[in-house]
Structure 1
Amino acid sequence: MDFDLVPGAFVRHPACPDWGLGQVQSVIGGRATVNFEHRGKVTIDLRNVTLEVVGDARPPRP
């Protein structure tokens, strides 16, 4: 499991760069719901797609 893939994380879909930057809304049961800037809300099966994490909304670790 990718522990960086949490609600608030910013991601890109490697096969769909035109969707732009997405923000993870939820991760449940191997599926992530992501809101992409040029595509809108999409549910992604994480068994088939590895999203590229580009940042997240969590505070920095001490």
Structure 2
Amino acid sequence: MDDPSAIYEPGMLVRNPAEPDWGLGQIQSNIGGKLTVNFEEIGKVVLNTSRVELELVFDS
């Protein structure tokens, strides 16, 4: 898999291990490797998947 963003789909829950204070996030969109994620503590953030690796959350 060459595109690291291919696994992320809207509605998925994620955490950013580099920023645990952001809390749980829900992916809003995935366009060209840029994810818009709505985090509990800081709101919407656009992240580049070539620079940030998110952790998928299956049990919140």
Q: Fold conserved (TM > 0.5)?
A: yes
1:28 aligns with 2:31: yes
1:50 aligns with 2:53: yes
Deviations 1:1-32 (Å, cap 9, x if unpaired)? 342x1100000011100000000000010110
Gap regions ≥5 residues in structure 1? 56-62
Point out the structure with the larger helix share.
2
Q: 2:12 aligns with which of 9, 12, 16?
A: 9
Instruction: Give the equivalent residue in structure 1 for 2:43.
Output: 40
Unaligned runs of 5+ in 2: none
* CA distance in 1 between partners of 2:49 and 2:35 (Å): 7
The sequence identity of aligned pairs, in percent, is 56
TM-score of the pair, normalised by structure 1? 0.82
TM-score by length of 2: 0.84
